[in-house]
């Protein structure tokens, strides 16, 4: 009777420990996925801004200009949300710098469209800045993808490790 009670207690403890370890693992995985989503959002919003920049440059239509401004706000928001990520801090800063540099260039481009000399210079600089941002965003996306894959594939499953450890200690105790 005593052995059966001990077995039930150990089994219960192992079950509770396994559930706790699994919950911890799922929580960490969810945090990694959420972090990756924030980083991917910077990439998507930034690429849309670069695409709109390339549409505005040759045509300069009012609708495209308004869309660019709205998209700029979205990119700025996404960069702000991802800026708390310490591991990607350097890449986030690079994207943030490119985005911040684009705003005055774009405003000057829109205002300077009446003057051909200013228009040509600003459109060239804006195009270069959009191209630099695309390169930074590609590096950023590669980093985000590699970071998530590395977390999910290389990280040992703590639930399995804990269950193994507890079952070994229970076997030696019995």
Residue 59 has pLDDT above 80, yes or no: no
Residue 170 has pLDDT above 50, yes or no: no
Residue 130 has pLDDT above 90, yes or no: no
Inter-residue contact 75 to 37 (CB < 8 Å): no
The more confident residue out of 84 and 164 is 84
Residue 158 has pLDDT above 60, yes or no: no
The more confident residue out of 20 and 166 is 20
Mean pLDDT within 23-43: 77
pLDDT at 69: 92
Residue 39 has pLDDT above 70, yes or no: yes
Inter-residue contact 159 to 22 (CB < 8 Å): yes
Mean pLDDT across the chain, nearest whole number?
Answer: 75
Token pair for 60: 């300069």
The model's pLDDT over 95-114, given as tens digits with 9 standing for 90+, comes to: 888 888 888 888 888 876 55
pLDDT at 148: 61
Inter-residue contact 45 to 71 (CB < 8 Å): yes
Dihedral of the alpha carbons of 34, 36, 39, 45, in degrees to the nearest 10: -80
Q: How sure is the predictor about 70, in pLDDT bands with cuts at 50, 70 and 90?
A: very high
Q: 0.85 exceeded by the pTM?
A: no
Token pair for 54: 């390339």
Dihedral of the alpha carbons of 135, 137, 140, 142, in degrees to the nearest 10: -70
Hey, what CATH class is 2-173 in? mainly alpha
Question: Which of 144, 149, 160, 150 is CA-nearest to residue 25?
Answer: 160
Q: How sure is the predictor about 144, in pLDDT bands with cuts at 50, 70 and 90?
A: low
pLDDT at 169: 45
Q: Is 60 left (phi over 0), alpha (psi -120 to 50) or beta?
A: left
Question: Which of 94, 86, 119 is CA-nearest to residue 105?
Answer: 119
Q: pLDDT exceeding 70 applies to what percent of the chain?
A: 73
Rounded CA gap, 48 and 72, in Å?
A: 9
- The backbone torsions φ and ψ at residue 83, rounded to the nearest 5 degrees and listed phi first, read -70, -15
């Amino acid at each position: 009777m005593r052995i059966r009670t001990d077995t039930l207690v150990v089994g219960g403890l192992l079950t509770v420990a396994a559930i706790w370890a699994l919950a911890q693992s799922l929580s960490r995985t969810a945090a990694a996925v959420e972090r990756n989503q924030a980083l991917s959002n910077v990439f998507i919003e930034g690429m849309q801004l670069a695409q709109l920049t390339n549409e505005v440059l040759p045509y300069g239509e009012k609708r495209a200009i308004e869309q660019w401004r709205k998209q700029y706000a979205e990119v700025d928001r996404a960069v702000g949300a991802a800026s708390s990520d310490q591991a990607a801090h350097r890449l986030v800063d690079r994207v943030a710098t490119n985005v911040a540099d684009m705003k005055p260039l774009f405003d000057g481009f829109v205002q300077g469209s009446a003057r051909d000399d200013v228009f040509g210079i600003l459109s060239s600089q804006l195009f270069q800045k959009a191209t630099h941002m695309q390169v930074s965003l590609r590096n950023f996306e590669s980093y985000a993808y590699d970071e998530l894959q590395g977390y999910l594939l290389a990280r040992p499953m703590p639930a399995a490790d804990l269950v193994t450890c507890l079952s070994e200690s229970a076997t030696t105790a019995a």
